[in-house]
Amino acid sequence: MAKLYNVTLHITPELKAFVGISSRGTWRYEGHWRGSALEAEALKFGWHSISHTLVEDNLSKKQAVEMRRTLVESAGCISLNRAFSKETKPLKKVNMKERQIALMAGMANGVKLSLTFDNRYLSKAGYPVVVRVYKDRKWAYVNTGFSMPADEFKHCKGSTLSALEEKYNTVKDWCVKAVEDGTFSVSAARECLREKKRAETLDGLMAMKMATLDNLGTIQNYKSAIRQLNSLFKQGLELKDTDSHSIKKFADHLKKQGRSDTTVNIYLSVVKASINYGIYKGLYDEKKYPFKKNAWECDKVSLPKSAKRSDRYMSIEDMDRVWELFIETGNKWLGLFLFSYLTGGMNLADMIGLKFTREWVKSNAIRWTRKKTAHKCSNTTTVPVSSWVAKLLERMGIEPVEGRLVFPFLDDSDYFKTKCKASTYINNALRKHGLGSMTYARHSFATIMTKLGAPAILVEQAMGHSLGGVQSHYIAGFDVDDMREWFEKLL
């Protein structure tokens, strides 16, 4: 069925006429004629101050259009339709694309390069200057950070041209390297200049190296090292100024803060690995390498050796004392320390998120993969659940139920925050009684087990270490029942 139309007449207080056609019955209501000259009049006088009259309805569209034309012509100069139709809206200015030219062009390992401008975008500053990268029918624009009018680009010279040439050569060198490494893609090329800019400082280079890592612990070391570096060099340490003198200054800064040789070693190792990465990427001059390669290089930096940990252990009598304190006070942090000691020195990182398994509940055996070495080795560590562990959990009010967290108060949603917090509480609980720290649990297990006469291979296996020596290839590991009698002697 064909749609039917009506013709309406609207007279304003100034006796101006507006003729409308509509196929809807809402022509009487404000808002129906939105966008027309009548809407402007309604805003001026109010909708109800305008007279609204139905002229004719049930018309075809052709009939309605013809009637409206006749009425508009009859109204003459007082017709709002005619006045509105004569208003000319400014046309949007259409910018024709400026024809691109290339100031430089060439090939690099099968990649076609050209220094040009992106004629798709025009701003007040002009067109963005880019390096166009093309390979295998795919292309990308690498933004140089410059923008200028097309005419200015075509006649570019002097220092501006030199700066653009440097950008072009940076992209070219990156393409050569990426193709050789087999890592080239046109999408990755877009980031090469940003990468170059970020690598102008040591902390930027460290961040680039960190982005290639998977191990969460190592990534955290990089973040901490970057924070420490930025606390010393507020404006950033540029790579051109990164030498043995600046690295020694960084090491001295860490020692003044009371950092141990172990911590200094970790942070300097991060710096060393990042600089090695910079040399590989062609971002750092190897001639300025700040670390020692040979013993006679006295002016270079050497990584401090960590203090020996052989004396960081507690005797079995000390452990008995911790147990008595735990039973007396019920301190859960002392409980965590004892749990680590009684399970072969399980790291706090592995205790966060640790769950009861069927093997634990049914066979009294704890099996887990160490977070510290998971990125290199997926081997699991298994130790028995001794009677001491069972008593400890009972004292803490923890019932072994398959699938539940062993220590629900250790929130695993923010792993590093939880680890640092728990470590601090454990250390405070121990030092309050003149005892060691969390690290003593693992060292004490190894030392006490050895003094009790346990086989070295059993100790290594319980601690999750790789079995060393040629004999280890011919000696089978100990099962849980063989290990149980030794674990019962720990207290």
Identify the burial level of 99 via C-beta atoms within 10 angstroms of its C-beta, where 0-12 means exposed, 13-18 middle and 19 or more buried: exposed
AA letter at 211: A
Cα angle 359, 363, 369 (rounded to 5 degrees) comes to 40
- Pair 245, 233: CB distance under 8 Å: no
Residues 15 and 8: their CA atoms lie apart, in Å, by 15
Q: List per-residue pLDDT tens for the chain, 491 residues long.
A: 678 899 998 888 888 888 999 888 888 877 788 778 887 788 777 888 888 888 888 889 889 899 988 888 887 777 887 655 444 444 444 455 688 889 999 998 899 999 999 988 888 888 999 999 999 888 899 988 888 999 999 888 888 898 899 889 989 988 998 898 888 888 888 878 776 666 678 888 888 888 888 777 788 888 889 999 888 888 788 888 888 899 999 999 998 888 888 888 889 999 999 999 888 877 788 888 999 877 677 888 888 876 555 557 888 899 999 999 999 999 999 999 999 999 988 988 889 889 999 999 888 899 888 887 766 666 788 899 999 999 999 999 999 998 899 998 887 677 778 888 888 899 999 988 888 888 888 899 989 999 999 888 888 888 887 655 544 544 556 788 888 899 999 88
Q: Can you list the alpha helix ranges (DSSP code H) found in 398-452?
A: 415-431, 439-452
DSSP-assigned letter for residue 284: S
Report the C-alpha gap between 439 and 71 in whole angstroms. Answer: 96
Residue among 77, 73, 22, 74 nearest 52 (CA): 22
Residue 236, token pair as written in the block = 């950033």
Q: What are the sequence ranges of the domains in the chain?
A: 5-86, 104-195, 199-288, 316-490
As its CATH architecture, domain 5-86 has: 3-Layer(aba) Sandwich (3.40)
217-226 contacts, C-beta under 8 A, 24 or more apart: 217/349, 217/371, 217/372, 220/416, 221/266, 221/267, 221/270, 222/270, 224/267, 225/266, 225/267, 225/270, 225/271
**386: closest CA among 361, 355, 407, 365?**
365
pTM above 0.85, yes or no: no
316-490 adopts what CATH topology? hpI Integrase; Chain A (1.10.443)
Q: With beta carbons less than 8 A apart as the criterion, state whether 126 and 73 touch.
A: no
Closest CA to 33 of 45, 48, 19, 53: 19
CATH number of 199-288: 1.10.150
CA atoms within 13 A on the CB side of 47: 9
